[in-house]
Structure 1
């Protein structure tokens, strides 16, 4: 269902951009705004800006921009209604449904919500199964055996799938859920060769509910408890519209608050590792659920902390095989530490073996930075073999090259040199070789792509950089002045917007979104509203909001210290709005006339080629010369000696 306008207005009024973004990305103040590395693309230095004063965000790297609602839509990958519900829950606002929604709007909303509903139904079904005779004897018995308390079982929505072909399917069908929906959610399967035969995916297994960041069930992991070698120990939900394995981490919903508070995230491998650590009082822990760590999972952790501590089972061979994950974490701009458990132990078994206090102390005492960890892992192996020692040095340098922050990299160069018994210059030289190779590879890749690109692909770009492209830039500049300064006075009795609109009344913007904003501005004036930027930021058209944010935000701010401390004074466009606006109008008119001259010139050529009557050619030449005279007059006012 849709959401009432009253609810939407309450959310817009209450939602604070700093609070909303801080739920996902740690912000740091610089100048008037707050900054962070963009959560939407990889970058080494922060280009993601949040303006508390304007209640907007803007990334100067990838171009993402919007208000608190748009941010939730972008980062959660949800629609407008879901974003409103998310923020309403955050701020304790009661959601009122809109009873006047169209059938199409209701259907669009239900398509995604229906998956959450049926997955929630399955979670409840599995949880209730723990109270059946079979569930108590097998599922609940297993959880109690592992020391899981009732509160932990409830916290993680642990359950049991009954041992039978269609227990969930039959119950879901009886309660009105369709086969199509159950199949889309990955809860049932079709028999190969006989699509009419449907059966449960999860049978005779304990279940682990996988939640999204908001706490909704999106999938399941399930463990078999018998010694059936024909069956895999664990099976998981397939990819669906709401569950993407590479984008989620098990336990992130239960851990996100603690990760932010502790400013550290423990990374483990399995479901039971996460749960056992919660039992030990350590809640800032997530699991990759047996899959290789992905770039998106690293980004997910980075929303809450820049620090990751990877916990490894006491198996040297397995650790070496998974070291690629550390390099990916470094490349993602996070700080990495590692803890290795005694041989034969994992976080789950060791926590149960030593108890909460000793387990926590072990993590504190044995956490080591990734350089010490990596070198220590190979120490015995390379001690008497120069070739292996050289390979280890290359491995270490390769990891150092992944660190984006030059200061952090320099610190680790010193530590690596000390542990390896080398001069820092040797490690720095090897690093320089890697960086030089990366630059060369990037250069040649770019050249190859240029050569492989068909010539025709460049034609639209050429056109864009021609007269039409320049005109678009000038339209944008005039609109920027209108939105940013339209409400200011250019003289004692004239606003900037009045002056701009009077001088350009006969012009029409060629760029559709600019014309749309211009029309909205004129409509506001017609309704006795003198619009400021906030007027457009409240507009429901996302294209308008995004473009206005681009018009009112700047990547760089001039430090106030220039004037207050150093008495260095600079000219500002707002200091003389009359001249700024006047010059902008002249430049826009010049570009429009230049475009008209180009069209007139083309018509003259056509008249000559088609050998039209002399009077037609003379008339077209006269139009061109009149336009040329206008151009000369404008150039004089702009101080341009030679027209071009």
Structure 2
């Protein structure tokens, strides 16, 4: 189904890049732009840049770039249409579409189809809870006993499923969803019939209260379910299996409901269960999530890091809770986050304790009892060690081992002082132990790297290569073909040597020197094409006039230059917005071309660095590229460099033809030499104008 163009325009105009990106990561203002650690690759220093003026984002680390729609496509891994629907919902823009048919679902990709059917299941479970006798008497009564109010039930979209074999299955089939799709979503099971008859298909969840699991944007991607009757043949909790849209190691329960509060409070409380999150949320402590269904993972920690660098772990005070807290401690530190830990009184969990003492007392308890990881570990070791000096030394080494996980050396230095104070030893002793452990880690990494290298060498065939011990070009081509990458030849990686990688790819390429000058020319056109260098002469007019017989050798720069020429012939001068706002929908016949155009425009209009406000404060003038004199000189020198490189290419070609003079007449040889000398004189004149060394 197509979304009407006028609706697409309304969505794009309403979507604010800061609001859209801010739903997924915490942005910090830097100059006129905003920065953050990139959500698309792991990094410790921010290289992700958002420009609110141009309504674009770009990561200088991994190269991801685009507008608000492209960001949703990238972060949610959905198609163009689904990204537009997400933004339409966010900005309350109604989309008039026909009801989806099974044929429509088949035309969508699997991920989008699963999200749609999971949303249907969520709605079905909610309606069952609130409208059926069984749902109200069993499911709703359970939630009431837990103290959950209607607003809380609505906020977490809690539901109930009937104690029947196929209530969801039958409703799904009636709505037009296939059994295969329901099974892929983890909602139904397909059990083979041992007697050879038809397979039995039935609901995965039956007679359970339902806890929908949302992703960061609020889409339901899975379910947790708790059985209420006593049945030893059934597990108490049952979760959705992993699917295309649900990977439990990458999800935190409650992150959608908590993300704004986490950003505002600048701390995330981490618990273990669904009801812990819900009860604390209802008590007004909304910056809380849970790692339900899995031990804490690196991916979950990185998800928290999008919104805050501060984590407080709230676990039960029993042995299992202590073990879980210690297991997650080093992982949090390794990702560079600031960590505090709190163990509740023995026999209590966050859900029970907040009901017992109330919200205010619970908050006060967290403030007073939460400890940093040094105090947390030291308290356990000092209690266990008593007067045993060996146990005490073992405790110091254990705490130092956790400090070595921290990537920031300045933090490690500061924390070593804290360890010395807590254990009453010299700081140098602590530093020496930390350094010893760091060297041990490095040695282990080196040994593992050497072992991996040895395994790779043993796996390589011993015969025929382009050089001894190395794979031949044919071997590399075979490997690249298997990865979907074009072959290479002896000149470099596949394709024209001046081609650039497609947006979002990491394919290695070799660029010609002239491609950099062509890129600079296009950058000047996109950013300053309409600026007048002198009355009546725009930069676009000047560049196109100087290059009127020259085509660029590198795609997409040649295409961008062609678009400028076509527009100028109509009396128009293209601007950055003409490229930044290009449509990159999946239904576009030139989707890859449009995407590459937008990607390059973002790259060419997003400066990585800005002049510090301190320069202005001290009235230090920094010449700007936008000043007419500087801009005119930049364009003039760029044109000269392009022409110089073209002259050098022409000279190289003529030299090759002259060397092959055995097949040419004397007149042809003289003509080639004349052309060569003309190109040489042009090259020397340009070198003089540029002030570079004249080639010999």
Task: Verify same fold: TM over 0.5.
Answer: yes
Partner of 2:553: 510
Partner of 2:350: 347
Counterparts of 1:498 and 1:444 in 2: how far apart (Å)? 61
Contact kept, 8 Å, 1:37 with 1:48, in 2: the verdict is: yes
Mapping of residues 178-193 of structure 1, within 5 Å? 178-192=178-192
Whether 1:79 aligns to 2:130 is no
Contact kept, 8 Å, 2:309 with 2:338, in 1: the verdict is: yes
Query: Cα offset for 1:438?
Result: 6.6
Query: Cα offset for 1:43?
Result: 1.9
Q: 1:145-182, CA deviations, whole angstroms, 9 ceiling, x for partnerless residues?
A: 43334443333233333334323222322343221221
Identify which range, 494-503 or 386-395, moves more after superposition.
Answer: 386-395
Query: Cα offset for 1:289?
Result: 0.7
Partner of 1:116: 115
Whether 1:283 aligns to 2:286 is yes
Partner of 1:528: 571
Contact kept, 8 Å, 1:468 with 1:595, in 2: the verdict is: no
Counterparts of 1:562 and 1:275 in 2: how far apart (Å)? 50
Partner of 2:226: 223
Alignment RMSD, CA only? 3.5
Partner of 1:126: 125
Mapping of residues 590-605 of structure 1, within 5 Å? 590-604=644-658
Question: Secondary structure of the residue that 2:221 maps to in structure 1?
Answer: strand
Query: Cα offset for 1:310?
Result: 0.9
Identify which range, 131-140 or 515-524, moves more after superposition.
Answer: 131-140
Contact kept, 8 Å, 1:316 with 1:377, in 2: the verdict is: no
Counterparts of 2:199 and 2:651 in 1: how far apart (Å)? 70
Whether 1:557 aligns to 2:600 is no
TM-score, scaled to structure 2:
0.82
Mapping of residues 629-640 of structure 1, within 5 Å? 629-640=681-692
Whether 1:252 aligns to 2:255 is yes
Q: Say if 1:152 and 1:53 are closer, same or farther in 2 by CA, change over 3 A.
A: closer
From 500, 520, 539, the counterpart of 1:477:
520
Q: 1:318-344, CA deviations, whole angstroms, 9 ceiling, x for partnerless residues?
A: 423542422222333322211101222
Counterparts of 2:122 and 2:530 in 1: how far apart (Å)? 56
Whether 1:172 aligns to 2:172 is yes
Q: 1:292-340, CA deviations, whole angstroms, 9 ceiling, x for partnerless residues?
A: 2223322322333232211111123542354242222233332221110
TM-score, scaled to structure 1:
0.88
Q: 1:211-256, CA deviations, whole angstroms, 9 ceiling, x for partnerless residues?
A: 2333332211122334544433322112223323223211122222
Q: 1:550-587, CA deviations, whole angstroms, 9 ceiling, x for partnerless residues?
A: 11222222335436516465585744223221111111
Identify which range, 405-414 or 161-170, moves more after superposition.
Answer: 405-414
Partner of 1:545: 598
Mapping of residues 279-358 of structure 1, within 5 Å? 279-358=282-361
Contact kept, 8 Å, 1:536 with 1:545, in 2: the verdict is: yes
Contact kept, 8 Å, 1:23 with 1:304, in 2: the verdict is: no
Counterparts of 2:218 and 2:301 in 1: how far apart (Å)? 19
Q: Say if 1:217 and 1:49 are closer, same or farther in 2 by CA, change over 3 A.
A: closer
Query: Cα offset for 1:591?
Result: 1.9
Q: 1:180-224, CA deviations, whole angstroms, 9 ceiling, x for partnerless residues?
A: 221121111111466732121112333211123333322111223
Q: 1:350-385, CA deviations, whole angstroms, 9 ceiling, x for partnerless residues?
A: 233334443333223222222222222333223344
Contact kept, 8 Å, 1:211 with 1:253, in 2: the verdict is: yes
Contact kept, 8 Å, 1:4 with 1:98, in 2: the verdict is: no
Identify which range, 310-319 or 455-464, moves more after superposition.
Answer: 455-464
Counterparts of 1:46 and 1:274 in 2: how far apart (Å)? 30
Counterparts of 1:124 and 1:467 in 2: how far apart (Å)? 53
Q: 1:24-73, CA deviations, whole angstroms, 9 ceiling, x for partnerless residues?
A: 32222222322222222222222222222322222221222222222222
Question: Secondary structure of the residue that 1:209 maps to in structure 2?
Answer: strand
* Number of aligned residues: 639
Counterparts of 2:650 and 2:578 in 1: how far apart (Å)? 34
Contact kept, 8 Å, 1:218 with 1:243, in 2: the verdict is: yes
Q: Which runs of 5+ in 1 are unaligned?
A: none
Mapping of residues 402-413 of structure 1, within 5 Å? 402-413=405-416
Q: Say if 1:431 and 1:566 are closer, same or farther in 2 by CA, change over 3 A.
A: farther
Contact kept, 8 Å, 1:467 with 1:591, in 2: the verdict is: no
Contact kept, 8 Å, 1:474 with 1:591, in 2: the verdict is: no
Q: 1:57-90, CA deviations, whole angstroms, 9 ceiling, x for partnerless residues?
A: 2222122222222222222222222322323333
Q: Say if 1:212 and 1:44 are closer, same or farther in 2 by CA, change over 3 A.
A: closer
Q: Say if 1:110 and 1:28 are closer, same or farther in 2 by CA, change over 3 A.
A: closer
Counterparts of 1:311 and 1:4 in 2: how far apart (Å)? 48
Query: Cα offset for 1:257?
Result: 2.6
Contact kept, 8 Å, 2:105 with 2:113, in 1: the verdict is: no
Q: Say if 1:42 and 1:349 are closer, same or farther in 2 by CA, change over 3 A.
A: same
Contact kept, 8 Å, 1:135 with 1:162, in 2: the verdict is: yes
Counterparts of 1:446 and 1:600 in 2: how far apart (Å)? 50
Contact kept, 8 Å, 1:270 with 1:289, in 2: the verdict is: yes
Partner of 1:159: 159
Question: Secondary structure of the residue that 1:221 maps to in structure 2?
Answer: strand
Partner of 2:587: none
Partner of 1:500: 543
Whether 1:237 aligns to 2:291 is no
Q: Say if 1:630 and 1:181 are closer, same or farther in 2 by CA, change over 3 A.
A: same
Counterparts of 2:72 and 2:295 in 1: how far apart (Å)? 27
Partner of 2:502: none
Q: 1:452-480, CA deviations, whole angstroms, 9 ceiling, x for partnerless residues?
A: 78474695269679995212112111212
Contact kept, 8 Å, 1:23 with 1:303, in 2: the verdict is: no
Whether 1:487 aligns to 2:486 is no
Identify which range, 152-161 or 340-349, moves more after superposition.
Answer: 152-161
Counterparts of 1:293 and 1:384 in 2: how far apart (Å)? 34
Query: Cα offset for 1:108?
Result: 4.3
Contact kept, 8 Å, 1:32 with 1:51, in 2: the verdict is: yes
Partner of 2:466: none
Query: Cα offset for 1:500?
Result: 1.1
Counterparts of 2:43 and 2:509 in 1: how far apart (Å)? 32
Whether 1:94 aligns to 2:97 is no
